[in-house]
């Protein structure tokens, strides 16, 4: 089976700093893959290259068998790549409902432009309510998004990503600010998401990583240090030296 996402020689430099260094990476459809590593390892820069937020200095990105290296972020969203940011990017002055409605509207318009049926206000409302229900924010739909607790803002971002019905959902530090009970609910949510989408997860919470990921990619100094199952990564001496037990991710 061909991978859903492939990078070849992917690199990005900022001045003299090689933030991502010649990364070859592949992700199968239906996977839950975690990317871990110490601070400054290049994780967020790597996924920013994948989703088109920044352009590579060298290398390529292919999605579903097509080269998307030159496509801007909004065109990659149309192809099925959704990304939630490490720092929340909600519209603070809009309600929770309206934040998600922007994503639902984009998906419905894209569908109509590809020859699908025109959508109604009921279609829009159904899409929003479904996304909010999945992340447990349906009772907060009328609240201003900026008034939510930080952890709930992160969940709102996940709802905005889900509302796009992506084939690949990239989650950058999604459990930051969540309580233990909310983290347990989040783990169940990601497992449910993975039934219909591929998940690429940057996460500092190692119990979450070990509970969710089928495979783990470890980055260090902009390059891939190791890849494997949770058990393989847990017992990898190079990973232990560079990260596990000696450093905290961020």
Domain definitions of the chain by residue range = 1-73+169-174+199-250, 81-165
Comparing 104-108, 139-143, 226-230, the range with the smallest average pLDDT is: 104-108
| Residue 203, φ and ψ in degrees, nearest 5 | -150, 135
Say whether pLDDT at 168 is over 70.
yes
The 3-class SS string of 34-98 reads: EEECCCCCCHHHHHHHHHCCCCCCEEEEEECCEECCCCCHHHHHHHCEEEECCCCCCCCCCEHHH
Structural Rg of the chain based on CA atoms: 18
Span 162-180, mean pLDDT?
Answer: 92
Greatest alpha-carbon span in the chain: 56
What number is the average pLDDT over the span 86-114? 85
Least confident of 12-16, 60-64, 87-91, 135-139: 87-91
CATH architecture of residue range(s) 1-73+169-174+199-250: 3-Layer(aba) Sandwich (3.40)
Categorize the per-residue pLDDT at 250 as very low, low, confident or very high, splitting at 50, 70 and 90: very low
Residue 154 confidence class, pLDDT cut points 50, 70, 90: confident
DSSP assignment, residue 176? Answer: T
Judged by DSSP in three states, 9 sits in strand
Q: For residues 113-126, give the mean pLDDT.
A: 82
Cα dihedral across residues 56, 100, 185, 194: positive or negative:
negative
The pTM for the full model equals: 0.88
**Distance, CA of 235 to chain centre:** 26
Asked if the domains at 1-73+169-174+199-250 and 81-165 fall in one CATH topology, the answer is: yes
The contacts of residue 237 (CB under 8 Å, 6+ apart) are none
- Rounded Cα distance between 7 and 4, Å, is 10
CATH 3.20.20.100: does it fit domain 81-165? no
Reported as a single tens digit per residue, the pLDDT across 31-56 is 999 999 988 899 999 999 999 999 99
pLDDT, residue 244, reads: 61
Q: How far is CA 176 from CA 19, 149, 158, 202, in A?
A: 23, 12, 12, 11
Q: Is 127 exposed, middle or buried (0-12, 13-18, 19+ CB in 10 A)?
A: buried
Q: Is 100 exposed, middle or buried (0-12, 13-18, 19+ CB in 10 A)?
A: buried
């Amino acid at each position: 089976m061909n991978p859903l996402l492939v990078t070849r020689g992917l690199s990005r430099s900022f001045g003299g700093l090689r933030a991502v260094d010649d990364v070859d990476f592949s992700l199968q459809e239906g996977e839950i893959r975690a990317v871990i590593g110490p601070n400054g390892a290049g994780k967020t820069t790597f996924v920013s290259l994948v989703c088109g937020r920044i352009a590579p200095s060298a290398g390529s990105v292919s999605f579903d068998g097509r080269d998307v290296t030159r496509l801007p972020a909004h065109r990659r969203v149309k192809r099925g790549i959704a990304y939630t940011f490490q720092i929340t990017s909600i519209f603070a002055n809009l309600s929770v409902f309206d934040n998600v409605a922007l994503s639902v509207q984009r998906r419905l318009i894209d569908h109509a432009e590809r020859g699908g049926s025109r959508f109604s206000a009921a279609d829009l409302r159904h899409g929003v309510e479904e996304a909010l229900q999945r992340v447990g924010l349906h009772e907060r739909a009328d609240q201003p998004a900026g008034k939510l607790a930080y952890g709930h803002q992160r969940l709102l971002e996940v709802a905005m990503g889900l509302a796009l019905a992506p084939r690949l959902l990239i989650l950058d530090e999604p459990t930051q600010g969540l309580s233990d009970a909310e983290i347990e609910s989040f783990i169940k949510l990601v497992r449910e998401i993975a039934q219909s989408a591929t998940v690429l997860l940057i996460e500092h919470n190692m119990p979450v990583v070990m509970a969710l990921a089928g495979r783990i990619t470890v980055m260090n100094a902009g390059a891939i240090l190791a890849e494997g199952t949770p058990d393989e990564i847990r017992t990898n001496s190079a990973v232990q030296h560079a990260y596990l037990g000696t450093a905290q991710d961020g």
